[in-house]
Structure 1
Amino acid sequence: MSYTTIQPCEELKAYISHFWVATWQEQLPAAGSTYYVTASSLTELAFGFAGPDLMWSSAQGHTCNHGQYPAGGFYGLFGVSMYSHAVPALFHLPASELNDRFLSLDTLLGNDGKMMEERIAMAANTQERIGILTGYFMAQVKREKLRDSLISNAARYIRIHSGMANIVNISRTCCLSQKQFERRFKAFTGFNPKLYARIVRFETTLNNYARYHSLTEAAHANGYYDQAHFIRDFRTFAGYSPVRFLELSGY
């Protein structure tokens, strides 16, 4: 499988992590094969293709849970991954409403979802698809109503520091009590701040483990105080030990 990420335009970098394309060039995923999903701080829109034909589309909300889905029957995927704290700006609803949700685009966006799906289906290539989503998101940002800049900045700070941030200090910087900060953070991002930081640290370690000589080195580099701590968090967010998950998922 080939997996490529594309960065969003400068105006959307505060909202979108990346666009992505996954293709099977040599061998298609066999019927009955499994796609392993981990906990994620990101909300995703995904589109599945069989050759040039769009077969399905979906919205998958941010989640602290892991899961498994059938992976056969399509040739490629195109999608966009958005920060959970961007959900209020991009979809005009609280981020908590997408927690652990897996739904169709028309369920999420109504007629806008149907039109988006049609335009993605007709697009000639990845760049056109990115342009369609970019145009839609830019229009939504201009209409942004559910804004909490304080919490958005706090969430970005946690991401910049790969989840290794002192939550108490962040709440003080925001001039909020711990309870006030936690309540506003969960309402705006869908997670309590400590859980959000744990998931971001897990994601950072998983996405960058190949840079290190071993999983142990990757764990220490990302703030896990010992191997047991790392394995415990990994099982919580992936459902398996690190070694077993990598064997099963081909990550």
Structure 2
Amino acid sequence: MSQQIIQPCEDLKDYISHFWAATWEEPMPLTNTTYYATANSLTELVFGFVGSAKLFSSVRGHTTNHIQFPAGDLQELFGVSLYSHAVPFLFHLPASELSNYSVSPETLLGDDGKFLTEKIALTSTAEERVRILTQYFRSQLKKQRWGDPFISKAVRQIRHHSGNLNITDLSNDFCLSQKQFERRFKACAGFNPKLYARIVRFETILSNRTRFVNLTEAAHANGYYDQAHFIHDFKTFTGYSPNTFLALSGY
């Protein structure tokens, strides 16, 4: 399998984490192939292909849930990972409406979704697909109706600090009551701020695990001083203990 990560252009970096592509020389086996997905602070638009034909497309919202499902018969996956606070700017609805929810692009975006999937299906390279989605997202930003730039700054603060931030202090920094801050944050990012920070911290540990001797050391470096608390969060967001998850998922 070959993997490719493509960074967004400069004007979309506040909204897009990255584009990605995965390609298999042969289709994945129909049996005994399982995809493990953890809780995720990102919203993903994904296209799956068998040969040159598009097999499926899906918008998978940011989620607190862990899932696993069979993933056979695919030869290629292409997707874009969006920060959840980008949902109001790019899809023109509160991010909370996509929390723990998957939907087809056609259902979510109507004719725009149908147009996008048809154009993506006709392309053959990741670069062409990035260009199509980039043009679409730029056009959506010009129609901005739902975004909350003020709270988006708070979201970026949490991400910048890898989830290790006092939420009460953060709301005070933005001169909002705790209740106002939580209401606006959930509409903007899809989660209440404390839960969002927990998921971001968990993702940071998972993505940076190779820099440490083990996950326990990574957890300590990212603000978990109680191993029981870390294991509880890990099971909540993956469904498994750390060692079992790593063995099953191949992370």
TM-score tier, shorter chain, comes to: over 0.9
How far apart, CA to CA, are the structure 2 residues paired with 1:241 and 1:29?
A: 27
How far apart, CA to CA, are the structure 2 residues paired with 1:14 and 1:114?
A: 26
1:185-200 mapped onto 2 (5 Å cutoff)? 185-200=185-200
How far apart, CA to CA, are the structure 1 residues paired with 2:163 and 2:127?
A: 32
Secondary structure of the structure 2 residue equivalent to 1:147: coil
1:168 pairs with 2:168: yes
2:208 is aligned with what amino acid? N
1:212 pairs with 2:226: no
Secondary structure of the structure 2 residue equivalent to 1:57: strand
1:128 pairs with 2:133: no
* Percent pairwise identity: 64
Q: Would you say how many aligned residue pairs link Structure 1 and Structure 2?
A: 251
Deviation at 1:63, TM superposition (A): 0.8
1:103 is aligned with what amino acid? V
* 1:148 matched residue in structure 2: 148
Q: Which runs of 5+ in 1 are unaligned?
A: none
How far apart, CA to CA, are the structure 1 residues paired with 2:218 and 2:14?
A: 27
* 1:3 matched residue in structure 2: 3
* 2:230 matched residue in structure 1: 230
1:178 pairs with 2:157: no
Q: TM-score, normalised by structure 2?
A: 0.96
Q: How has the CA–CA distance of structure 1 residues 3 and 211 changed in structure 2, closer, same or farther, with 3 Å as cutoff?
A: farther
The C-alpha deviation readout for 1:127-177, integer Å capped at 9, x for no partner, is 000000000000001111112122100000000111011111110110011
How far apart, CA to CA, are the structure 2 residues paired with 1:202 and 1:41?
A: 10
How far apart, CA to CA, are the structure 1 residues paired with 2:11 and 2:107?
A: 27
Secondary structure of the structure 1 residue equivalent to 2:144: coil
Q: How has the CA–CA distance of structure 1 residues 32 and 236 changed in structure 2, closer, same or farther, with 3 Å as cutoff?
A: same
Secondary structure of the structure 2 residue equivalent to 1:19: strand
Secondary structure of the structure 2 residue equivalent to 1:150: helix
- Whether the 8 Å CA contact 1:41–1:83 is kept in 2: the answer is yes
* 2:94 matched residue in structure 1: 94
* 1:24 matched residue in structure 2: 24
* 1:53 matched residue in structure 2: 53
Secondary structure of the structure 1 residue equivalent to 2:88: helix
- Whether the 8 Å CA contact 1:31–1:73 is kept in 2: the answer is no
How far apart, CA to CA, are the structure 1 residues paired with 2:150 and 2:118?
A: 37
1:24 is aligned with what amino acid? W
How far apart, CA to CA, are the structure 2 residues paired with 1:232 and 1:58?
A: 30
Secondary structure of the structure 1 residue equivalent to 2:115: helix
The C-alpha deviation readout for 1:98-150, integer Å capped at 9, x for no partner, is 11111111001111111111110111211000000000000001111112122
Secondary structure of the structure 1 residue equivalent to 2:85: helix
How far apart, CA to CA, are the structure 2 residues paired with 1:66 and 1:29?
A: 23
Q: TM-score, normalised by structure 1?
A: 0.96
Deviation at 1:37, TM superposition (A): 1.0
* 1:42 matched residue in structure 2: 42
- Whether the 8 Å CA contact 2:66–2:239 is kept in 1: the answer is yes
Q: How has the CA–CA distance of structure 1 residues 104 and 32 changed in structure 2, closer, same or farther, with 3 Å as cutoff?
A: farther
Q: Which runs of 5+ in 2 are unaligned?
A: none
How far apart, CA to CA, are the structure 2 residues paired with 1:87 and 1:68?
A: 24
| CA root-mean-square deviation | 1.3
Deviation at 1:184, TM superposition (A): 1.0
Q: How has the CA–CA distance of structure 1 residues 7 and 76 changed in structure 2, closer, same or farther, with 3 Å as cutoff?
A: same
Deviation at 1:32, TM superposition (A): 4.6
Q: How has the CA–CA distance of structure 1 residues 228 and 26 changed in structure 2, closer, same or farther, with 3 Å as cutoff?
A: farther
